[in-house]
Structure 1
C-alpha cells in the first residue's frame, strides 16, 4: 500500500507541509491552478530552494496585498466552494481542516462554530496553505498517512488575543490525543495550521513505518534554529503489508472484592464510554484467592477518562497501563439486502485481497424475529447475498447494497471518507516559531 510518513522533528506548519509536498514531487502547476481558482486577488506563491543548516530544502512564501478581514467558517467555505478547479474530495478535505480549527476555537472561547471568526488561520496565506495541502495530499493518493510525534516548542507568542504560552489554547485543543515530544526551542514549532493538518490527515502517529521509500520531500520553516535544521521531511513509499497499523492502550486491574454484577455493569459502562473492547478473565491472586482480571482496550486519548471510570465503579487501588501496536485488517461497514430485509455488517479483507462479510448479530436477530425464522437462516441469507453481489471488492472502495436478483458487479457508490477524529479548532497560523504580532494582514511564518 502507498504510505506517506511525516517526520516532524522541528514541528509542522502549513508552509512547511506545502514545501515538503512540492519537494516530494507533487505537481506544482496543479497547486497553482487550485490557488488561482479561489479568486483571491494579488496572491502569489513563491517557491525556492534554501539551505537549513547543512541541508537543502524547499521553501514557499505566499505574498498578497495587505488585508484585515477576519473571516468566519461560512466565509472560508464560500471561497473554497466557488472554485471550479478543486475536486469534491479536495474541497471536502480543506473544509474539514478549517472546521477542525473552528471547533477548537469555539471550545476555548466558549462559543459555537458559526460565531467563530478566524484571525491568523483566516488570513489569505493560511487559506492558501490549507487548500494547497488538501490538493497535495489528494494528488498523492496515499493508502495511509502516518505522522511522527509533534513538538510544540516552548515560550510565548503574540496572537490577536495577546501573549499566549506555547502551545496556544486553540492549538492545544487540536493536539488533544496526539503524541507530543519536548524539543527545547523557545518558539512555536507546531502552528494551528500544522496541528489541523495532522489532526485531519493522520491515520496514526508513531515511528517511520516498515516501507520502501520512493520519494523524500524536505520543507523548510522560516526560522533558523541554532542547533538543528528546521525541516519537515515527508517520505513517500510502499508498505508490503496489507494490514493497517495503529496504537492502542491496554488497561488492566485485578479484582477480588467486587461482585459479578459490578464487573458486568462496569464492562457495559466502559463500552458505552468509548472502549474498543472489554473482557474479563479468571485468575488466582495472592494467597490463592480467586479473582478477576478486567482488561480494557482503548484508543490512547481515551485512556484517562476510562481509568477514572474503572476507579469509580470498582474501587480498585491500581490500574496497569500498556501502549501496544495493533495490526488490523482493512474493514468497512456494509449492508446487504436479503429475503428477510436489509442486514448490516462489516467487510474485512484477507491478506490475499479476498473480502469476507460478517453480519451484525443485532441486525440478524431483529430480522429473524420479524420474519419468524431462525437466526441461522438470516445469517446464511446475508452471507449468500454478499457473495452473489460483491465478488471483487477492494479495500478502500465502499459499496452499496444490491437487491436480490440484481447481482451487477458495477455501479457501486464510493464513499472515500477516512476515520479521523477531527473536531478541533484554532485561529492562528504561525508557520514556525517566531513572535507573531497579528495587527496586520501579513504572513507570519515560523
Structure 2
C-alpha cells in the first residue's frame, strides 16, 4: 500500500516533477534517457545535476535541443505553429508502455484544453493505475502469506480518496453538477477512444514549446507509473504573483488550470516570489494525477523522498518541488487510531457550521457520509435562517483541529456551502445544540466550488 505525496514547496513545473523522482531514486537517469530514445526526437538530450536551492540539496533537470532536426517529425502550419492533434498522433505512434501513454496523453489534453476555456478534469487514468497497483500488491501479499490489504479500509474505491469516490458517484448520477466544480466535460479523447473532433486538439503551440511539453508529459507519466502508488495526495499549490508584462500572475491559460485546486501562497513580503511559481505543465500533471489535497504528509513509513529544483534560485524562498513515497504495509499497527495521540495529549475540537442550498436527499446523504469518513463526528442538519430571515438548511459537525482545514476545504469544494463558521469547544463546556445558535450572517462568501473563507469566534491557527 504505497502513498505518493506531491508537495509544492515553492511551486511545481514539469522539469521539477521529474527531477524530484530522480532525486528520490524512484527512477534513474539511464531509464529516463531510454524513454527519451523512445520519443525519437533528434538532437534532444537531458542533463541532471545536483545543486541547491536556498541551501537545500536538490536535483535540477534540463532539456537541451542541439538542432531543429526534431521538427521534421511534425507537420507545422505555415505560421510555424503546431496543433495538439499532431503531438497526440505522434505519441500514439511510439512504443511507449500503455499506461505511460494514456497518462501522458491525458496531461497533454488537459494542458491544451486550458487554452480553449475550462480545463478538462482527470478521466481516472491515474486512479485506474493505482487500482492495478493495489490489486498487484494484494496478490503479492497472498503469495507471501501476509494478510491481504483491504482496499475498502480507507477508501470506497482503490486509488481514490473517499471524496473522489463520492464525486465519481455523483458524476454518474448528476454529470452537470460535478462538471461545474471540476471543469469542462471530459471528451472521449480523454478515454480510450481518440476523438479527432475534440476542440482541445486544435490548440496551437509555438515551436519553442513543443519539445519541453512532450518530454515533461511523458517523463511525468513514466515517473507516476514507476512509483507503483496505490493512492495519491498533494499539498496546496502556489499561484505566485507579480506582473508578466501588463498582466498579473497567474496569467491565462495558467489561471484556468487552478480551477478546483487549493492555493496557499508564500508571504507577500517575499518580492522574489512574485513570479510564476506553478507552470501550466506542472498544473496539468497535478490535474491528471487527481490527488486528494492535504496540508501535511499522509501516514506511512517514508520509503523514498526527493527534491527537484526550479530554474530560479532565490535567497528568500526555496524554489523546490518534493515527492514523498510512503508505505503502510510495514508495521500497520503504528497507524491505528489508538496510536495517533500520545498519552496526556489534549485534543482541540471545533463546532463547525455552514449554510447549504437545497439539494437531492441522495446527494445530501452522500455529503454527510463523506464528512464522517474525513474525520467529522456528530454530523447533522438543522433549520436556520438566512441573512434575509427566510428559513433555510444548515449543516453542523464536530471535528479535531488536525482535520479542520481539510474538512473545510472539502466542504467548500464539493458542496453548495457558501461560507463556514467555526467555534472552539472548550474543555468541560457543553457542545452547542443545533438549534441554539443559528448560523446567520457574517461568514465570508465563496462561490460554489471555490476555496472559500472561514470565520472563527476564537483564536485558532487556521484563521
Calculate the TM-score normalised by the size of structure 2.
0.54
Moved more, 131-140 or 167-176: 167-176
Contact 2:17 2:308 in 1 (8 A): yes
TM alignment of 1:324-335, pairs within 5 A: none
What are the Cα deviations for residues 285-342 of structure 1, in whole angstroms up to 9, with x where unaligned?
9xxxx99755799984864972469xxxxxx955979xxxxxxxxxxxxxxxxxxxxx
Pick aligned residue for 1:115 from 197, 202, 220 = 202
Match of 2:132 in 1: none
1:198 corresponds to 2:198? no
Pick aligned residue for 1:73 from 57, 60, 84 = 84
What are the Cα deviations for residues 194-245 of structure 1, in whole angstroms up to 9, with x where unaligned?
11111111421112111211121111111111223322121122135799xx
Pick aligned residue for 2:359 from 252, 267, 285 = 267
Relative to 1, partners in 2 of residues 1:271 and 1:291: Cα closer, same or farther, differing over 3 Å?
Answer: closer
TM alignment of 1:97-246, pairs within 5 A: 97-107=107-117, 112-119=199-206, 122-157=209-244, 163-183=246-266, 184=270, 185-206=273-294, 207-239=296-328
Q: CA deviation at 1:21?
A: 0.9
Distance 2:235 2:368 in 1: 23
TM alignment of 1:325-364, pairs within 5 A: none
Q: CA deviation at 1:270?
A: 9.1
Contact 1:221 1:230 in 2 (8 A): yes
Relative to 1, partners in 2 of residues 1:201 and 1:171: Cα closer, same or farther, differing over 3 Å?
Answer: same
Instruction: Please identify which structure carries the higher helix content.
Output: 2
1:22 corresponds to 2:22? yes
Q: CA deviation at 1:59?
A: 1.0
Q: CA deviation at 1:131?
A: 0.7
Q: Describe the SS at the equivalent of 2:223.
A: helix
Contact 2:109 2:201 in 1 (8 A): no
Distance 1:102 1:251 in 2: 39
Aligned pairs, how many? 295
1:6 corresponds to 2:6? yes
Relative to 1, partners in 2 of residues 1:271 and 1:186: Cα closer, same or farther, differing over 3 Å?
Answer: same
Distance 1:205 1:40 in 2: 36
Q: CA deviation at 1:171?
A: 1.6
Contact 2:355 2:417 in 1 (8 A): no
Any gaps of 5 or more consecutive residues in structure 1? 244-249, 256-262, 310-315, 322-420, 422-446
Q: Max radius of gyration: which structure?
A: 1
Contact 2:4 2:229 in 1 (8 A): yes
Q: CA deviation at 1:72?
A: 2.0
Distance 2:297 2:99 in 1: 27
Q: CA deviation at 1:22?
A: 1.0
Match of 2:103 in 1: 93
Q: CA RMSD in A?
A: 4.2
Q: Describe the SS at the equivalent of 2:114.
A: helix
Relative to 1, partners in 2 of residues 1:276 and 1:45: Cα closer, same or farther, differing over 3 Å?
Answer: farther
Distance 1:291 1:154 in 2: 39
Any gaps of 5 or more consecutive residues in structure 2? 120-183, 185-197, 336-350, 371-378, 386-390, 398-406, 420-438, 450-463
Q: CA deviation at 1:13?
A: 0.5
